[in-house]
Amino acid sequence: MKNTIAVLLGVVLAAFSQIAPAQSAAVVEGVQMPAWIERGGERRPLAVGMELKSGDSVRTGAGSRALVKLSEGSTVKLGENGSLLIAEVNPDSGGFFKAAMRVAEGAFRFTTDLLQKTRRREVSIRVATVTAGIRGTDLWGKSAPDRQIVCLIEGAIEVGADGEKPALMDQARQFYRREQGQTQPIGFIEAAQLVEWAKETDIEAGKGAARRGGKWKVILASADTQAAALTVYDAARDNGYAAEIRPAQAGDKLVYHVRIANLPTKAEGEMLAASLRGRFGIVEPRVTN
């Protein structure tokens, strides 16, 4: 029975998410499941509060979103069916912050924290074959099979495909696009289009997303045996939901609760419960704080 001892002690997720502070590149602030982290050849569900480091890859499923906060305060949002590799994060590289990320699939948004905009930094985001060099800014981008887009929201970036001379973009709503392997002239988008693009990366209200600091929980199942609890636990986690097992005393016997924690409101918990009812062996989930 896989992970039995670790699950019952509640250390599987903790062991996977906790790493030495000096190695920490980022922390997961929010997850609209299903989503996963891939590290060292292993794949686990992405969980709120999980610390990330260089080499980690975040993946989102259909209808999913992820919100990651870098160690210097900037945030990265990843839309559905996305893939974000944290290639490098160095909080103090010769007196400035250095990071490199790669988006192989999906939409993303990188936003610099207001208090960190004057900090020296060297950040690059590679979108398929296109690289954007960031100078303390806010940008949105997307990698699709036939198209790559990088749109400047605020600040300045240099962007270009492999073999191209990078172009400077320093005006709000300028955007670079490459279609079918061909770079198109840099243009501008309407504010309404940017609003629509932003929806692709924002965690959606009412979709059962977990947030750091959330106090509500969804009990997926309560079982009298470890084996029964692990059946639901394994199925949920294999499908990108950060389930955990917590044993509890019920009278003179032990009950094993399979749950998902960190829901910010009761309403979000109820939405998540409704979406999981009838799936992964979950019959009647309930919300509690």
Amino acid at residue number 240: G
Per DSSP, the three-state class of 17 is helix
To the question of pTM greater than 0.85 for the whole model, the response is yes
pLDDT value of residue 94: 63
Q: Which letter, b or e, does each residue of 229-253 get, where b requires 16 or more Cβ atoms within 10 Å of its Cβ?
A: bbbbbbbbbebbbbbbbbeeeeeee
Q: What is the CATH number of domain 54-199?
A: 2.60.120.1440
Residue entry with tokens 């001379």:
165
Q: Do 243 and 235 form a contact (C-beta atoms < 8 A)?
A: no
| Burial of 191 (C-beta count, 10 Å sphere; 0-12/13-18/19+) | exposed
Angstrom distance (rounded) from CA 73 to CA 68: 10
Task: Give the right CATH number for 210-288 from 3.30.70.1230, 3.30.70.1070, 3.90.1150.10, 3.40.50.720.
Answer: 3.30.70.1070
The confidence score (pLDDT) of residue 119 equals 60
Q: What span, in angstroms and rounded, lies between the C-alpha atoms of 225 and 140? A: 48
Q: Which residues, 6+ apart, have CB-to-CB distance to 126 below 8 Å?
A: 87, 100, 101, 102, 103, 132
Query: Cα(77)–Cα(61) distance, rounded to whole angstroms?
Result: 14
Tokens, residue 149? 């887009």
Residue ranges per domain, the chain? 54-199, 210-288
Produce one character per residue of 140-157: b if its CB has 16 or more CB atoms within 10 Å, e if not: bbbbeeeebbbbbbebbb
pLDDT in tens, the chain (289 residues): 445 434 444 433 443 443 334 447 899 999 999 999 999 999 999 999 999 999 999 999 999 999 999 988 899 999 999 999 999 887 665 667 788 999 999 999 999 875 555 566 788 999 999 999 987 689 999 999 999 999 999 999 999 999 999 999 999 999 999 999 999 999 999 999 999 999 999 999 999 999 999 999 999 999 999 999 999 999 999 999 999 999 998 888 999 999 999 999 999 999 999 999 999 999 999 999 9
- The sign of the torsion formed by the CA atoms of 92, 93, 98, 99 equals negative
Helix, strand, coil: what percent of the chain each, to 5? 20, 45, 35
Model confidence pLDDT, tens digit, residues 77-86: 999 999 999 9
Tally Cβ neighbours within 10 Å of residue 197: 20
- Provide the CB-side half-sphere exposure for 250 (13 A, CA): 11
